[in-house]
Amino acid sequence: MPISSIASADGQELTISIQGRFDFGAHQEFRDAYEKVAVTPKSYVIDMKGATYLDSSALGMLLLLRDHAGGDNARIRLLNCNSDVRKILSISNFEQLFQIG
């Protein structure tokens, strides 16, 4: 499964891992990864270690998660981005909305 999510032991943080291409094809799966979970996390981690590619609809999906997680109050970190992914995030200046590490 290209997208999986796992909550921390205390349920405060949800880690969503992306594998392969992160594009419109992953839309439903990505939503399920944070909507169909039993916990209500305070913060989110998107682990991009396995993500090879990201397109503008993936940026849209990240915005949907941000909205779901409280909009301007959302705490979302994007971790392990490769240089291509990081470049796309930076052209769109998404570091203003997400913590990118």
Helix axis angle, 27-35 to 56-68, nearest 10°: 20
Report the residue from 4, 57, 80, 82 that binds other proteins according to the rule CB under 8 A: 57
Is residue 7 a contact point for other proteins (CB under 8 A)?
no
Binding region for other proteins (CB under 8 A) out of 1-9, 13-21, 38-46, 88-96: 88-96
**CA-wise closest residue to 79 among 1, 13, 11:** 13
Query: Which two tokens mark 73?
Result: 């109050």
Is residue 97 a contact point for other proteins (CB under 8 A)?
yes
Binding region for other proteins (CB under 8 A) out of 2-10, 33-41, 51-59, 75-83: 51-59
- How big is the chain, counted in residues? 101
Report the residue from 7, 59, 74, 100 that binds other proteins according to the rule CB under 8 A: 59
What is the contact surface with other proteins in residues (CB under 8 A)? 24, 56-57, 59-61, 63-64, 67, 72, 91-94, 96-97
